[in-house]
């Protein structure tokens, strides 16, 4: 039979063994990947939009 100390020790060890750290790292990597994709998309679309507005502006002036 477990003593009170052994019971509390087993309970605390069971409560402390979680995957919070791993989940936090996975979420941080996911957020970083999304941020990189957003930055690349904005950079690419920004240059494309700038070129399109320039060609439209020069067509209107001509």
Cα separation of 24 and 55, whole Å? 46
- Contact assessment for residue 10 and residue 2, using Cβ atoms and an 8 Å cutoff: yes
pLDDT exceeds 60 at position 52: yes
Question: How sure is the predictor about 8, in pLDDT bands with cuts at 50, 70 and 90?
Answer: confident
3-state helix, strand, coil in the chain (%, to 5): 90, 0, 10
* Residue 58: per-residue pLDDT: 87
* Residue 53: per-residue pLDDT: 86
Question: How sure is the predictor about 46, in pLDDT bands with cuts at 50, 70 and 90?
Answer: confident
């Amino acid at each position: 039979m477990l003593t009170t100390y052994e019971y509390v020790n087993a309970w605390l060890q069971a409560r402390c063994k979680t995957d919070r750290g791993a989940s936090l790292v996975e979420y941080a990597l996911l957020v970083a990947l999304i941020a990189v994709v957003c930055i690349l998309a904005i950079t690419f679309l920004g240059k494309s939009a700038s070129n399109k507005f320039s060609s439209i502006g020069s067509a209107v002036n001509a």
